[in-house]
Amino acid sequence: MEDRDIARVHVIVPEGFDDPGQPTGGNIYDRRVCAGLAEAGWEVLVATVAASRPVPASGARADLARAVSAIPDGETVLIDGLIASPAAAQLLPHTRRIRMTVLLHMPLATGDAHLDAGAEASERSVLRAAAGVIVTSEWTRRQVLTRYRIPARRVQVAQPGADRVAAPARPVRGRLICVGVLSRHKGQDLLVEALADLADQDWHCVLAGSLDRDPDFVELLQTRITRLGYDHRVRLSGVLTGAALSHAYTTADLLVAPSRSETYGMTVTEALAHGVPVIATAVGGLPEAFGSAADGTGPGQLIPPGDPAALATALGAWLGDEGHRRRLRAAVRQRQPTLRGWEQTTQVIADALTASRSGTHANNEGDIRPMTFRTESRMTIADSVHEVWAYLCDVGRWPEWAPTVLEGRVRPGGPLQPGSRVEQRAKLMFGLSHRRSQEVIVVEAPTSMAFAGPMGTSAARWGMELKPMGDGQTDAMMWIEVDLTGIMRAVPAGLLKGRVQRVSDSEMVAIKAAVESAARKGAVS
């Protein structure tokens, strides 16, 4: 076999990624992918480089430059975004001679860290120059496409896997667990504040995660716990791994994930695999990890982020209602068979790397007809963001602006939220109609919503992005992405894209007319 035919990948990951004492989501993901690729027959050559956000130290930059320079021309490279995003100066000189794919766990703009313009410009340049980008959630993919305008076909989603658990759950009534590094973005302080309102309930809580990443936060958290008199009820266990973590899940009654920001949320799928229901914030990619049973029932409850009162209400309902607990545990059992395994994650990444090796994702867009296209329709609406948002959220009124929709409703009822579904009766030719369903994948009031569902024989995603403007106006943008599959690949992509563009343009005109008409009537009355 000639050397060029060997399935070989150079993987550049942060120092300590294989340290069991640093079980961050990114480190676990990187370890599992490296192992999975090796098991699948790839030759995996790992190099580690010190990483820090948002700007790496000079020594780390020099180490990265040496590591990349040592990679022979034409080789396939997978580099962790924690290293790649701020390193345009070190990586861009090499992007034409190596096939570089960036594994982006978390865009630099995510979370609470201050982001300077230079770091964001570096990330944009690196991602645009890469042969491909792999992200861990649809939410992250949307952020990348919207922020950096990268061709949609070059950004793939490889959601983290979850191991099957053979041991049966043995939950201890009222035992709550929250897993993740103790830091503000993980929201453990919000959980403690919620528990402050539940002193008369029977519960104990374990906060499992590193205590040294943000020592100031940990000190404030411990002080608040002591002032509430909760030292005997809230335990900061430090990092739990392996059998200790599995035992903690197996004996937990409920996982709480109160994050302020999150690109996916591997602890959610880990808990579900152990049969543990979840209360989580509807932020970032968490709703994707949360998912739903076949009938649309969530395996727990999603709550607004940053709202300790809402969290207290959800916890109170869990602790005080045995019927509620039984229903959610049943939903977890229905959700478990749909959890992805790590072998599926590895396969998506292997396919993306193979595509980069074959040149499918080459930057020269004339080389191959894209199998994914994206359209955008933008319009200024003379009303506030909140009014436009309220109109779009009223699924029953979608027939007013969507020409193919006859009826629409949210299943299982209630407002739009990630994991729910929009059921529609849609038009066919000759006066016929059919039923179709779209999954709600993003709801970030009042600025972003996104949906996924079929378009003919292809998969599609669409969404709305709203931005406030001066004088109470709204900049509204509808985007649509279509992954061409089946018979639709026989139709020229340009022809399909043009038709989709015309339809979305007309829908935006109808949305604008409906919202502005209602505003005028309100002003008159």
Instruction: Give the residue extent of every domain in the chain.
Output: 3-161+342-358, 175-338, 372-524
Q: What angle do CA 28, 29, 35 make, to 5 degrees?
A: 90
Q: How confident is the model at residue 11 (pLDDT cuts 50, 70, 90)?
A: very high
> Model confidence over 442-455: pLDDT tens digits?
777 888 888 888 87
Is the confidence at residue 369, as pLDDT, over 70?
no
By C-alpha distance, which of 9, 72, 3 is closest to 46? 9
Which residue do the tokens 């667990």 mark? Answer: 177
With H, G, I as helix, E, B as strand and everything else as coil, classify residue 118: helix
Overall CATH class of domain 372-524: alpha beta
Compute the average pLDDT of residues 232-245. 94
pLDDT digits (tens, 9 = 90+) for 175-224: 999 999 999 999 999 999 999 999 999 999 999 999 998 999 999 999 99
- What's the pLDDT at 486? 61
How confident is the model over 485-510, as a mean pLDDT? Answer: 82
The torsion of the CA quartet 438, 442, 445, 449, rounded to 10 degrees, works out to: -50
Say if residues 217 and 191 touch (Cβ distance below 8 Å). no
Question: pLDDT tens, 253-271?
Answer: 999 999 999 999 999 999 9
Instruction: Indicate the average pLDDT of the chain.
Output: 88
Cβ 368 vs Cβ 362: under 8 Å? yes
Beta bridge partners of 48: 13
For 3-161+342-358, which CATH superfamily applies?
A: Glycogen Phosphorylase B; (3.40.50.2000)
Do the two domains 3-161+342-358 and 175-338 of this chain adopt the same fold?
yes
Predicted local confidence at residue 20, as pLDDT:
74
Q: Which of these ranges, 130-139, 177-186, 202-211, 430-439, has the smallest mean pLDDT?
A: 430-439
> Quick one: pLDDT at residue 396?
94
23 pLDDT more than 90 = no
Instruction: Check residues 521 and 325 and name the one with the higher pLDDT.
Output: 325
Homologous superfamily assigned to 175-338: Glycogen Phosphorylase B; (3.40.50.2000)
Question: What tokens were used for 322?
Answer: 């045995």
Pick 397 or 412 by higher pLDDT: 397
